[in-house]
Amino acid sequence: MAESAIRSATVHAGAAKAQRAGEKWAPWILLAPTLVIMNVVGVYPLLHSLYISFTGAKPTDPNAHQGWVGLKNYAEVVSDGQFWHAVLVTGGFTALSVVSSLVLAVLMAILFNRPLPGFVLMRSLILIPMLVTPIAVGLIWRIMMMPELGVLNYLFGIVGLGPFQWGSSRGSALASVVLVDVWQWTPFMFIIIFAGLKSLPRSPFESAQIDGASGWQTFWQVTVPMLKPVIVIAVLLRLIDAIRTYDTIYIITRGGPDFVTDVVSIYLQRVNFRFFDLGYGSALSWVTMLLILAVVLIFVNLSGFLRIVNEKEAR
Amino acid sequence: MSVQIKNVEKSFGALKVVKGVSVDIADGEFFVMLGPSGCGKTTTLRMVAGLELPTAGEIRIGGRDVTYEEPRHRDIAMAFQDYGLYPHLSLRGNIEFPLKVRGVPEAERRTKVESVAQKMGISHLLDRKPGQISGGQRQRVALARALVRNPRVFLMDEPLSALDAKLRATMRTEIKKLVTELKITTIYVTHDQIEAMSMADRIAVMKDGDMVQIASPLEMYERPQTKFVAEFIGSPAMNLLPARARPDGRMACDLPVLAELLPDAELTANPVAPAKMAAYIGIRPEHLSLVEGGEGQADFEAVVDLVEPLGQTTNVYLNVGDIRMIAVVDRTRVQAGQRVGVKVRREALRLVAA
Amino acid sequence: MSATLARHKARERRRAVTLWLLAVSVTVFFFFPVYWMFSSAFKTDEVSSTFPPVFTFAPSMDNFVHLFLEAEAGKALWNSFFIVTIATLLAMIAGTMAAYALARFDIKGKNAMAIEILSVRMLPPIVSVIPLFMIARWLGIFDTPWLLIAVYTLSGLPFVVWIMRVFIQDIPQSVEEAAMIDGCGRIEAFWRVTLPLLLPGLAATMVIVFMFAWNEFLLASLLTSSDAKTLPVIAANAIKPKAIAFGLACAAGVIMSMPVIVLVLMMQKYLVQGLTLGAVKG
């Protein structure tokens, strides 16, 4: 049986060589669809938008000069106070949201890292917020946060707090959207850090115990350093998403009141699709992109993210 | 089936990991490629399997050029270091896999699997999955899968290295017995010299992408051609003393008595160590014996540095001035610090190339 | 001796109860809004606009009926389903192929690839929306499902490549090589051995890619005008300039969230590895 299979498969060495040499192309054939999609749907529009950013494109205004305007749009970006305000708001929103959800997630991971009745079910329930469509998250929180009818003010009223104005007052709007973001994405940080905690070896904790470290010392000297790679990855992913937050803020405050929650993605959407100032909008987009890139690269460098990823690979 | 490897080379990018290896392996031979990690032994084996393509050279199995043939058309079997079992299939599924993809009918598959499983002593496990059995059992399954279709050549890539020492020894004997019985040409890769010595018909010691010496186990042990082979094979390692050629054609050595004792025939016996070049004079530790009291019979004197009794034999570490040597003797009463006479078995002295 | 032991045990129990109560309140914080959304979906507008809010009421299907009869939710549901399914499948197929190439062949530039994928992940979608908008008008595919399919395929792709690469690397190469020696070609070896082993990973990845596309709102709202609207776009319409249609909003939220919640909780085991692009094992 095997003999006949061998004979029928026998080919001239030359043909076999040509065929096996073709294997060199196999990875590129496999990569081709991805590269095509990435370039056609991803890179090309990006380059196109770079081009638009040097023009005065504004389809709604036939009188405007639609052609090449050089660096004019970029010069305007630099002096656009509204934009830099949005950048600050985005920075504040991101920092508050990422830091609070990190702290909360670490505490929760430690809390749930023991076997008590019902913890498995509770962990599953806690995951749900990150699965709810962000638009729905915005809607339900906006409904709960309504000053007169909302259930939040009712609940706080029971314990004698409030009523709060939540998203509709200048003072509490940013805190409100941060709260919603923290509510939705802490579960994401939590499961990553929880998984990291579960995967830590026991022996360092045992030797810390024998060495006489207190719970607090163990936490800072053993748990945190060993969790660092996982924390770095969780923070990076959270950072990238927090900077782009749009949906919940769009639903809850639309950037208001008085622009206190006017993050960059809301501002960009307004410039591009309310005023159809596409040339200027594109320039804004590119500046935004470079800012984000800078933030991420700084974080990647400070945290040694690539080293962590490569170490994972080496194993 | 015989296997010929002719001037085979392999580069990964700029790195040349196999540098023109050639060897003829006879039908039914048990051939071991031995060397430290990174010496190119596994790459060479993978080229015979067809898992890697050589950059240059030719590989023949049974006389047929298979250099660029796909693995499945070479009719070979292979045992991997990590077994390469299919985790999603039962042991039966694993063993019958090669038959199944070749379209062997169900009934025939069944009988073949049963018989090979019986031979490997795993009949009672056939419905389990690889994850549910021990390491030694997994290796048996891998072997069963390799043997079930009577391959023309059997390739093994460090198949025992993941097992513990005791199991490794048992499996070693078992594999050797099995393969000898079936008379299948086998190429076996390992870094363990004991495995190589105990199983091989012939050994090729590899270093930096080259086969530095190809010989039978005993010859390899008796007549290592280079320092690398001399040190790699045998434990404790051969005593090697730097030596230089003298104008008169004899050798000079740090321990002059060894150069004097070296038989003339040895000067030309090693093809890679012409007498004129810098070399070593070597002697296996068991060819040194200790003479207590009767110093007159000794070839030289030494001070005992350390005594390691191993039960069967005893390792005695010796200092001769600055020169450190080791002797393996039967039971002895010598103690550290004691001065002893050492007798050399003259015909065991070798000239070893650097 | 036994007295101290008893005291120790009592202290332990008090501690456990405290922690348990803490855990319950954390769970309540995260789960209450979800509960509120689900319960409000079954309240009539009369019930939900009473203050103080009611916790017990006669459930009504009115909101769902409204949603499908008046708010075109049926069409949006179909659009969402069609667009997201096709995009997920395309991303899965193309991405797994690429992942296999990256995992099994020696290709240079892995760090560059990491950065590139991170940058696709961090692009604010608003950046490419303008050119996509212009190109789509020019090609005449604006407000058709195909535009969103293309966009969602693109945004799912880096995920798939990255995660699947890790899942493929987790399968020992020797398993595939054993199959090739046992008589399979490379493709058959993939089909018979690698693919079955990848199935759980594929399913988990698919769920995550599905989730992100299914939940996406910004691009869907800007690149559709009527025919290709997806569920999140319809749901956002529940906000009228002066008021919110409570019931409709919550009913839409329930319909949008249910598929994802069910799918993800089913695949929980592989979720962490997927969400962290394979960097953290769950």
The answer, for A26 touching chain B at a CB cutoff of 8 Å, is no
> Are A233 and C94 a contacting pair at CB < 8 A?
no
Task: Please state which of the ranges A145-154, A305-314, C187-196 shows the lowest mean pLDDT.
Answer: A305-314
Domain with CATH 3.40.50.300 in chain B: 3-222
With a CB cutoff of 8 Å and minimum separation 6, the contacts of C61 are C42
How buried is A311 (Cβ within 10 angstroms: 0-12 exposed, 13-18 middle, 19+ buried)? Answer: exposed
Write the single-letter amino acid at B212. V
Closest residue to B102, CB basis, from C175, C177, C183: C183
DSSP per position, B24-40: EE-TT-EEEEE--TTSS
Q: Is residue C237 domain-resident?
A: yes
pLDDT reading at A315 higher than 50: no
Shared domain check, C132 and C12 = no
Contact A105, A193 (CB under 8 A): yes
* Nearest chain B CA: its distance from A313 CA (Å): 19
Comparing CA positions, the residue from B83, B77, B79, B129 lying closest to residue B99 is B77
In chain B, the percentage of residues whose pLDDT exceeds 70 is 97
Closest residue to C130, CB basis, from A49, A131, A134: A49
Shared domain check, C187 and C136 = yes
Q: Is residue C281 domain-resident?
A: no
Shared domain check, C235 and C113 = yes
* Nearest chain C CA: its distance from A312 CA (Å): 7
Total Cβ atoms within 10 A of residue A19:
13
Shared domain check, C135 and C212 = yes
Total Cβ atoms within 10 A of residue A227:
19
* Domain, as residue range, for C16: 2-41
Q: Is residue C54 domain-resident?
A: no
> Are A134 and C215 a contacting pair at CB < 8 A?
yes
Domain with CATH 2.40.50.140 in chain B: 225-354
Superfamily in which the B225-354 domain is placed by CATH = Nucleic acid-binding proteins (2.40.50.140)
pLDDT tens for residues A201-242?
888 888 887 887 777 888 888 888 888 888 888 898 888 889
> Are A136 and C37 a contacting pair at CB < 8 A?
yes
User: Do the interacting molecules here have an ipTM over 0.90?
Assistant: no
Write the single-letter amino acid at A71. L
Which residues on neighbouring strands pair with residue A306, listed in sequence order? Answer: none
Chain A interface mutation, best of C39, C221, C276, C277, highest count of A Cβ atoms under 10 Å: C276
Element of type H or E holding B202: strand B202-207
Q: What is the dihedral of CA A198, A204, A210, A216, to 10 degrees?
A: -70
pLDDT tens for residues A192-202?
898 888 888 88
Q: Is residue C215 domain-resident?
A: yes
Partners of C27 on chain A (C-beta within 8 Å) are: 122, 125-126
pLDDT tens for residues A9-42?
444 455 666 666 666 777 888 888 988 888 888 8
Contact B291, B297 (CB under 8 A): yes
Chain A contact partners (≥3 CB pairs within 8 A): B, C
pLDDT tens for residues B191-235?
999 999 999 999 999 999 999 999 999 999 999 999 999 999 988
Partners of A187 on chain C (C-beta within 8 Å) are: 30
| Closest chain C residue to the Cα of A124, Cα to Cα | C265
* Nearest chain C CA: its distance from A126 CA (Å): 6
Shared domain check, C196 and C128 = yes
pLDDT reading at C274 higher than 80: no
Shared domain check, C93 and C37 = no
pLDDT reading at A43 higher than 60: yes
Binned at pLDDT 50, 70 and 90, residue C155 comes out as confident
pLDDT tens for residues C63-85?
888 888 877 788 889 999 999 99
Whose structure tokens read 């070296």? Answer: B262
Comparing CA positions, the residue from A237, C85, C193, C54 lying closest to residue B94 is C193
Q: Is residue C280 domain-resident?
A: no
Q: What is the dihedral of CA A253, A255, A256, A259, to 10 degrees?
A: 160
pLDDT tens for residues A155-173?
888 888 877 888 788 888 8
Shared domain check, C150 and C23 = no
With a CB cutoff of 8 Å and minimum separation 6, the contacts of A36 are none
> Are B83 and C193 a contacting pair at CB < 8 A?
no
Does the domain at B3-222 match CATH 2.30.30.40? Answer given as no
Chain B contact partners (≥3 CB pairs within 8 A): A, C
* Nearest chain A CA: its distance from B99 CA (Å): 9
Domains of chain A are 13-52 (no CATH), 74-314 (1.10.3720.10)
Comparing CA positions, the residue from A244, A241, A263 lying closest to residue A252 is A263
> Are C182 and B145 a contacting pair at CB < 8 A?
yes
pLDDT at residue C29 in the model: 93
Size of interface A-B (CB pairs under 8 A): 34
Domain count, chain C: 2
Total Cβ atoms within 10 A of residue A6:
19
Closest residue to A20, CB basis, from B68, B104, B149: B68
CA-CA distance, A304 to A312, in Å (whole number)?
A: 13
Q: Is residue C87 domain-resident?
A: yes
Binned at pLDDT 50, 70 and 90, residue A8 comes out as very low
> Are B101 and C182 a contacting pair at CB < 8 A?
yes
- Which CATH number characterizes residue C178's domain? 1.10.3720.10
- Classify strands B339-344 and B288-291 as parallel, antiparallel or unpaired: antiparallel
| Closest chain C residue to the Cα of A131, Cα to Cα | C261
CA-CA distance, B308 to B290, in Å (whole number)?
A: 15
Shared domain check, C147 and C13 = no
Q: Is residue C269 domain-resident?
A: yes
Element of type H or E holding B211: strand B210-215
pLDDT reading at A143 higher than 50: yes
Closest residue to C175, CB basis, from B51, B76, B86: B86
Q: Is residue C185 domain-resident?
A: yes
> Are B69 and A2 a contacting pair at CB < 8 A?
no
CA-CA distance, C163 to C169, in Å (whole number)?
A: 10
Binned at pLDDT 50, 70 and 90, residue C115 comes out as low
How buried is A8 (Cβ within 10 angstroms: 0-12 exposed, 13-18 middle, 19+ buried)? Answer: exposed
Q: pLDDT tens track of chain B, all 354 residues?
A: 899 999 999 988 888 999 989 999 999 999 999 999 889 999 999 999 988 889 899 999 998 898 888 888 888 999 888 888 898 899 999 999 999 888 889 999 999 999 999 888 889 999 999 888 988 889 889 989 988 888 889 999 998 888 888 888 888 888 888 888 888 999 999 999 999 999 999 999 999 999 999 999 999 999 999 999 999 998 888 999 888 887 777 788 888 888 888 888 888 788 776 655 678 889 999 999 888 766 677 888 899 999 999 888 999 999 988 889 999 998 888 888 888 889 999 888 888 887
Shared domain check, C143 and C35 = no
